[in-house]
Amino acid sequence: MRSTYKLVLISAIACTVASVNVLAEGIENIAVSASTLVDVAKSSEEATATVAPAVDLKDIAPPPVVSPEPKPKGSSTKTEADTDNKAPPLTGTTKDKRNETVPSTIIEEKFIILGSEITPGTATRLAWSPNVGISGLKLPTPVLVINGKHSGDTLCLTAAIHGDELNGIEIVRRVMYDIDPKKLHGKIIGVPIVNLQGFQRASRYLPDRRDLNRFFPGDPAGSSASRIAHSLFTEVIQYCDSLIDLHTGSFRRTNLPQLRANMLDSKVIKFSEGFDDIAVVHSRGNPGMLRVAALDHGIVAVTLEVGESMRLQEREVKAGVKGINALLEREGMYSRLFTWGDPEPVYYKSIWVRAGQGGILLSRIELGDSVDKGDILGNITDPITNEVSKLRASHDGRIIGMAVNQVVMPGFAAYHIGIRASEETVVAEESLKEAASNSVFEVGSRENTIQEIDPE
């Protein structure tokens, strides 16, 4: 009886081993097939791409022409046309570009994006259209592309995801138009006005009142905002190694030039060190933000905040341009005569000071001022009773954001104070927040965070 049992057990083990071997061979075949499909898609894209005309970005240009669109899909089966102008699909196995090293050799690289091939050492204007409107009324969004003569990484600059944020548009223009493609190492892609519909209406939001910066990486079968996000992400963002998303303060608030970045990510820390004379505020960001989605897909990403919405501010624009040019120099992408300023601190914590009463807010401090706990930041005066309420600093720190003088209601967040703290302290506090994320008190605990008051 025992002999029979041993024979049965041995046979079962042998069958299991054989099954594992067969499964391993199957997985290997699938991997080979997937690699082949990617190569075929890439070859198809290269075959259908047209060489984009080389232009001097400083010259006045006619309105951009939309690249040929893929044919409508009649079924779920992908055809060769479906692969045109598309980056690899969004999957959990997306290649982590942060682990790649910049080639040390000088090699001219062909670059294909939005159905066009950009010759090394040239710049051009392309057009991106998310195809979510009425076909006869489409208005393409301009995309500036510089393919350097020398090999290197690809940096993406995006602005006006919120259509009322103007400083970033001018920053992208000044940076892109001051680059000589023959001296550039790598590539720079600039999308000066992502939310063209909002920009035309001087609105932060899309026409359906959705915030585009809450829908990345998007869904091709989702809402209008989600489809726009998916189109931008797959057709432009996925071609980049790093991303700077430009924003301003919102809701009549202004921001000191600052990076908002996940400073618990080592790649982001290194990237943020390349900006000159710009403060860094630690913020993981919220799901749906472009920089959060980009980082999740292996693209090093930060937000650059400068000034306030609905205004073009020369000082803030110059600060943003200087910071990005410093990054290009530090990353070895573009060299120019440069005078480095003193390094700015990283604020791992920040807090808002709120109005205790309603009335007319008049500030007594300025953006960038250092403050001590108890200092008077501003006065709120009731215009009828003449009662005055003083707003005082709740912590030692620096004013990194503040409301412009205006009428405010009780509870209005008026002053944003950056607080120096150790990385270890922040890690411990965020771990506690995550552990309590399912608590009923979580909503209230978010009321004083950056993203709830001055969202990117």
333-346 per-position pLDDT tens digit: 999 877 777 778 89
pLDDT class of 434 with cuts at 50, 70, 90? low
Q: Does the pLDDT at position 261 exceed 70? A: yes
What is the model's pLDDT at position 452? 61
Mode of pairing for the β-strands spanning 141-147 and 300-308: unpaired
Question: For 99, which DSSP code?
Answer: G
103-148 per-position pLDDT tens digit: 444 556 789 999 999 999 999 999 999 877 766 557 789 999 999 9
Q: Does the pLDDT at position 96 exceed 70? A: no
Rg (CA), the chain: 26
182-206 per-position pLDDT tens digit: 999 999 999 999 999 999 999 999 9
SS3 label, residue 381: strand
Asked if 197 and 228 touch (Cβ cutoff 8 Å), the reply is no
Q: Does the pLDDT at position 155 exceed 50? A: yes
Tell me how far CA of residue 295 lies from CA of 93, 178, 232, 265, 426, in angstroms.
14, 28, 15, 9, 20
Q: Dump the DSSP string for 319-350.
A: HHHHHHHHHHHHTTS--------PPPPEESEE
118 by Cβ neighbours in 10 Å (0-12 / 13-18 / 19+) ranks as buried
What is the model's pLDDT at position 12? 47
Token pair, residue 221, equals 């079968």
SS3 label, residue 235: helix
Q: Does the pLDDT at position 433 exceed 60? A: yes
280-311 per-position pLDDT tens digit: 999 999 999 999 999 999 999 999 999 999 99
Token pair, residue 381, equals 């005066």
Q: Does the pLDDT at position 21 exceed 70? A: no
Token pair, residue 22, equals 């067969």
Q: How far apart are CA 125 and CA 142, in angstroms?
A: 7
Asked if 259 and 303 touch (Cβ cutoff 8 Å), the reply is yes
Tell me how far CA of residue 154 lies from CA of 98, 236, 331, in angstroms.
12, 11, 11
Q: How far apart are CA 179 and CA 130, in angstroms?
A: 28
Q: How far apart are CA 109 and CA 121, in angstroms?
A: 9
Q: What residues are paired with 190 via a beta bridge? A: 144, 157
Q: How far apart are CA 239 and CA 432, in angstroms?
A: 36
In sign, the C-alpha dihedral spanning 443, 449, 454, 456 is negative
Over range 29-53, report the average pLDDT: 57
0.85 surpassed by pTM: no
Mean pLDDT of the chain: 82
**DSSP H or E segment with residue 426:** helix 423-435
Q: How far apart are CA 369 and CA 418, in angstroms?
A: 11
Domains of the chain and CATH, by start: 51-67+84-330 (3.40.630.10), 349-453 (2.40.50.100)
Asked if 381 and 387 touch (Cβ cutoff 8 Å), the reply is yes
What is the model's pLDDT at position 137? 58
SS3 label, residue 182: helix
Neighbouring CB atoms inside 10 A of 147's CB total 27
34-45 per-position pLDDT tens digit: 444 345 445 556
At residue 438's C-alpha, the angle toward residues 437 and 442, to 5°, is 55
Asked if 131 and 121 touch (Cβ cutoff 8 Å), the reply is no
47 by Cβ neighbours in 10 Å (0-12 / 13-18 / 19+) ranks as exposed
Phi, psi of 138 (to 5 degrees): -65, 140
pLDDT class of 59 with cuts at 50, 70, 90? confident
What is the model's pLDDT at position 73? 38
Over range 96-105, report the average pLDDT: 46
Over range 41-54, report the average pLDDT: 69
